[in-house]
Amino acid sequence: MSSVISVVLPIFGLILVGYLCRRTGRLGETAASELNRFVVWLCLPALLFRTTATASWQEIWHPGFIATITLPTLAIFAITLGYRLRGKRHLVDASIDGLGAAYANTGYVGIPLSLLVLGESGLEPALIATLIVVCVLFAIAVVCIEIGLQAEQSYAKAVGKVIRALGKNPLVVSPILGTLWAISGTALPGPLDEFLQLLGKATTPCALVSLGLFLAQKQSGSTQGAWGLVGLKLLLHPLITWYLAFHLFALPPLWAKSALLMSALPTGTGPFMLAEFYRREAAVVSRTVLLSTLGSVVTLSLCLYWL
């Protein structure tokens, strides 16, 4: 329990800092949106580019583990997306909700927790899980959002607009460029690598402070549905992963334990960043981030006890 709390507590601290800065007037009304734009246009693209540019095929190619992380993540996203669409929710908002139910906080909580619980050997599976969540899931959600933003009657025109929009989206372009860099086999120059590291490390603290700033504002939107997303993230996601890791694929103990821990993580700030970036209602996903982070203290502790 103490190891989980030691990792989760700084998250609440950063959210609280943002909340207090807004409540006391130290940061203005537009601070949440502007700080979030800084993350989306600079910090997160730098993190995505560097992560993909420095990854090697040998490090990330573990088919059983990749399937164990990818299949439940995409299943939770698809289930939530379909349910929300059936409830007449717009595709853009349904995609953000789907991301809220499936987007694990692998970077800020998962990696430190893996190091604490599994040691240095737990870093590699945690990094693979981060790549899948941040690159694959995030990219699919962005594609769905861009499709939902198109109002063209012509299918060809709609596809063209989506492609152009994706080509201008830093969250899609940066991992593609990073992959191409990795394929070239060229090492990142020292100054460039340091530059990208500095920007990338600012992603999580800035996003969490931005979330605190947003929560300090008067909430006009309904938070109905947040508990459902939390339940999918903290209960159904780990359950599916447990079956795949320990039974269907029968992964080696270290990889099976890591997969279960990664699936039991709370929702990261990615859905909130997208909601703010696309100017959509962020009340549900912001509440989901908070509730799932709090609830993960219990669910992660149960997983650790069982493991």
Q: Tell me what pLDDT residue 223 has.
A: 64
Mean pLDDT of the chain: 85
Out of 73-87, 148-162, 214-228, 269-283, least confident range: 148-162
What are phi and psi for residue 249, nearest 5 degrees? -95, -15
Three-state secondary structure call for residue 257: helix
- Please state the separation of Cα 231 from the chain's center in Å: 17
Q: What is the percentage of the chain residues whose pLDDT exceeds 90?
A: 33
Question: pTM here?
Answer: 0.78
Reported confidence tier of residue 55, pLDDT bands at 50, 70, 90: confident
**Two structure tokens written together for 38:** 């800084």
229-251 confidence digits (pLDDT tens): 999 999 999 999 999 999 999 99
Q: Tell me what pLDDT residue 78 has.
A: 96
What are phi and psi for residue 267, nearest 5 degrees? -70, 135
Is the model's pLDDT at 151 over the cut of 70? no
Among residues 214, 266, 282, 200, which one has the least CA distance to residue 35?
A: 214
Is the model's pLDDT at 155 over the cut of 60? no
Q: Tell me what pLDDT residue 229 has.
A: 94
**Two structure tokens written together for 23:** 């409540």
264-284 confidence digits (pLDDT tens): 998 988 898 888 888 888 888
Reported confidence tier of residue 64, pLDDT bands at 50, 70, 90: very high
Give the single-character DSSP code of 104: B
What are phi and psi for residue 218, nearest 5 degrees? -70, 125
Residues 6+ apart with CB under 8 A from 218: none
Query: Do residues 258 and 199 make contact, with C-beta atoms less than 8 angstroms apart?
Result: no
Reported confidence tier of residue 1, pLDDT bands at 50, 70, 90: low
Spatial distance between the Cα atoms of 96 and 229, rounded to a whole number of angstroms: 11
**Two structure tokens written together for 244:** 């795949």
Q: Tell me what pLDDT residue 3 has.
A: 65
If one compares 48 and 58, the residue with the highest pLDDT of the two is: 48
Residues 6+ apart with CB under 8 A from 137: 73, 74, 77, 99, 102, 103
Is the model's pLDDT at 4 over the cut of 80? no
CATH code of the domain covering residue 209? 1.20.1530.20
Give the total number of structural domains in the chain: 1
Q: Tell me what pLDDT residue 190 has.
A: 92
Is the model's pLDDT at 73 over the cut of 80? yes
Mean pLDDT of 27-51: 87
Tokens 């409830």: give the residue.
87
Three-state secondary structure call for residue 267: strand
87-139 confidence digits (pLDDT tens): 888 999 999 999 999 999 887 678 777 877 788 778 788 878 988 888 789 88
Terminal C-alpha separation, the chain: 13
Torsion sign, CA atoms 254, 125, 202, 218: negative
Query: Do residues 188 and 196 make contact, with C-beta atoms less than 8 angstroms apart?
Result: yes
Mean pLDDT of 275-294: 86
If one compares 85 and 123, the residue with the highest pLDDT of the two is: 85
Owning domain of residue 92: 2-306
Spatial distance between the Cα atoms of 19 and 217, rounded to a whole number of angstroms: 9
182-191 confidence digits (pLDDT tens): 888 888 999 9
Q: Tell me what pLDDT residue 69 has.
A: 96
Out of 15-24, 38-47, 142-151, 159-168, least confident range: 159-168
172-226 confidence digits (pLDDT tens): 788 889 889 988 888 899 999 999 999 988 887 888 888 788 878 766 556 678 8
